[in-house]
Structure 1
Amino acid sequence: MTTPEAMDHAQRPFDHVNLVLRFLLELVMFIGLAWAAAALVSGTWQSIAAAVLAPVVAIGVWGVLIAPGSRRRLPDPARLVVELLLFAGTGVVVAAAGLPAWGVALAVVAALNALVLRWRRI
């Protein structure tokens, strides 16, 4: 018979993989926002400004409302809704900029990851 401690220890790699995936998804979201914003805006200076401002706004929202160390972190389920809106919004913008498969993949994988992290209580 497996003890609860052994079961917990056996699940840790799964949790670590999901946390690393979460971090990578966050980076992809910010990079995707920069790329898509630049691609969707015409004009050199406007593209540069959009490529900088889009991820900065998302990073600000993430840092204030979602980040674990934030003093204003939203409680679930509101935090989950904001996370899903950020990832889904990024997916839509990336799709609109010409990479629909990447946009859908980002939104779906991020949503699944967020749900797994909630399910595992991480």
Structure 2
Amino acid sequence: MELGERPQAQVGPLDLTAFLCELAMLVLLAMTGVAAMDSLLGRVLVAVALPAAAAGIWSVWMAPTSRRRLANPSRLYAQITLFAVVGTTAGLLLGWLVGAAFFVVSAVVFAERCRRELRAT
């Protein structure tokens, strides 16, 4: 390894699934924003604002590179809460099956990541 080079992190299927859950959260929030409003301007504003708010929360307290990243299990509690809010909102506006499926898959994936992280330390 050369000077200034970072070691390559191992990315497994669980990490990929977690990343897809994060992307799904942003997509669901945008779709929820569109479904929540009647006017075109309102739809656009809410469809941008909801994912931006979630991304902001995620980047401050949950992102791997954040300086203020929460430690587990507190981070897991915050993630589950965010997934519950997104799942409930999506369930109300897009259909209960969509919201429930998102919440269950995301909660299980991130709980397993937390379990593995705590076990490794």
Alignment match of 2:67 (pick from 56, 65, 71): 71
- 1:56 partner letter: A
Q: What is the TM-score normalised by the length of structure 2?
A: 0.85
Is it true that 1:109 corresponds to 2:102 in the alignment?
no
Q: What is the aligned counterpart of 1:51 among 47, 53, 60?
A: 47
Per-residue CA distance 1:90-122 (angstroms, 9 max, x = gap):
111111113210110000011101111112117
Partner Cα separation in structure 2 for residue 59 and residue 98 of structure 1:
21
Is this contact kept in 2: 1:32–1:90, CA < 8 A? Answer: yes
The equivalent of 1:10 in structure 2 is none
Query: How many residue pairs align between the two structures?
Result: 109
Identical counterparts, % of pairs: 32
**TM-score between both structures, scaled by the size of structure 1:** 0.84
| Higher helix content, 1 or 2 | 1
Q: Is the 8 A contact 2:73 2:114 kept in 1?
A: no
Partner amino acid, structure 2, of 1:16: G
1:120 maps to amino acid:
R
Structure 1 unaligned blocks of 5 or more = 1-12
